[in-house]
Amino acid sequence: MTAGTRPRVVIVGGGFGGLWAAQALRKAPVQVTLLDRQNHHLFQPLLYQVATAALNPSDIAQPIRRVLRKQANAEVLLGEAVSVDLDGKRVRLRDGKSVAYDRLILAAGATHSYFGHPEWEASAPGLKTINDALEIRRRMLVAFEAAEREEDPALRAALLTFAVIGAGPTGVEMAGALVEISRQVLQRDFRHIDPAAARVLLIEAGPRILAAYTPESSASAQRQLERLGCELRLGKAVTAVGPNGISLGDETIGTRTVIWAAGVQASPLARSLGVPLDRAGRVHIQSDLSLPGHPEVQVIGDLASLEQDGKPIPGVSPAAMQMGRHAARNLERAMAGQPVLPFRYVDKGTLATIGRARAVAELGKIRIGGFLAWLVWLLVHIFFLIGFRNRFLVLFEWAWVYFRKERGARLITGDVGKLLERASGVTENQEVIAPGSPARSEAARPTLGDASERIWRAKAIQRWENEGGHCFEAHGPPD
């Protein structure tokens, strides 16, 4: 910083923590630079509604420049931070450029964690970005379309099976929405399939869903999901995920649509700091949110690991917002020569929706479920949406869904031909497969390893040939 210039505060990440920190510094004598790899702030708690065709992406996102355009001391830069040079006080970007700072707030968030199996991501996308939501929406809608054309009963059953892995709030909300789509929204739209016959499985390795909630709320949510028609598999860990299904130990489930909601890990940016990290890759920080040994750097949101009263502060949006405001407050105090203050998270309650007019809510000592909890959930989410237009559109869409049982964002984008081929199990070397052949039935079971595949297929072909079948494949039978 040169004499006569304002200190430069760089904020990495335009999510809840980063954006709230930037806004809290609007009257501070600093120059704020908010850096993000996306040009928009995303209201992530409603992302699953984009994935399930209830809302459009623009309903829950707002350009960051528009949010901060009236804040004279703030600028927005589009770029992806890949590392931090703590000694040189520079943030390195993927394109080779760098941004200098006097003070730094890291709010880079988190990404999916596949517990040592990154290869599962191709078959089981997670839900963190708009692109993730659109991909899940594509796969879900194409599964119904492919089932409408499918003649093989086994493959049709696999196409109409949807597996959600992980029963936290995201998994519960996703599973409930999928059941409602199949039972209510699509029920009269198809001629050759009954969408209401679709299976939605919610799989959780732990003993109950919504493990962070009280046992009473967890039990209430489970009852509401089961009444909807969702199948729960508790105490079942996923051991394999492939393009044609999943494995739960010795049990295999044929499915073409798998959604990952089982775990998260901190942004890889944390590893560049050279400081101790927890098992999820989050940075161990001090009580004032600063990086040990570097008081000019603060870490907030999903990137931070901090305990309060012997328990970790949860990675939820209210905690990130509070951290963002507190980081800004401490930054101003430090610049004024005042002592910084320890952060104290105030838990204002937790909410999870299970479907239309179904939810659970924990507000202090108050525990409610059903329609009343759903109303609370609706009002809270509308309140925190940024922009009047977004609030109005979302409220209108929810009213439409509630009264008409319709979802207006049921658009399949992308290369539909390739999506249908993927859903039907057709590859570049397998152009035509007769209905009822072992190759068709094979698409209803998971790919769990080369050896088991060869054994399974050999047995299937032998059984099928004994029944007098004929297999039509472009390049002959498999080895």
Burial of 4 (0-12, 13-18, 19+ CB in 10 A): exposed
Strands (E), 79-151: 81-85, 90-93, 98-100, 103-106, 110-112
- Residue 88, SS3 per DSSP: coil
In one letter, which amino acid is 17?
G
* DSSP state at residue 66: H
User: Angle 169-180/215-228 helices, nearest 10 degrees?
Assistant: 20
In one letter, which amino acid is 202?
L
In this structure, are residues 203 and 212 in contact, taking their beta carbons and an 8 Å threshold? no
Q: Tokens at residue 51, please?
A: 């994935």
User: Angle 416-424/130-149 helices, nearest 10 degrees?
Assistant: 60
According to DSSP, the residues that pair with 460 across neighbouring strands are none
The residue annotated as part of the active site, out of 80, 119, 151, 173, is 173
Determine phi and psi for 170, rounding to 5 degrees.
-65, -45
Q: Tokens at residue 342, please?
A: 């320890």
| Residues sharing a CB contact under 8 Å with residue 88, sequence separation 6 or more, in sequence order | none
What whole-number distance in Å separates Cα of residue 270 and Cα of residue 110?
Answer: 10
What whole-number distance in Å separates Cα of residue 346 and Cα of residue 337?
Answer: 27
In this structure, are residues 53 and 141 in contact, taking their beta carbons and an 8 Å threshold? yes
In this structure, are residues 317 and 20 in contact, taking their beta carbons and an 8 Å threshold? no
Instruction: Tell me whether residue 431 is one of the annotated catalytic residues.
Output: no
In this structure, are residues 199 and 175 in contact, taking their beta carbons and an 8 Å threshold? no
Residues labelled as active-site residues: 173
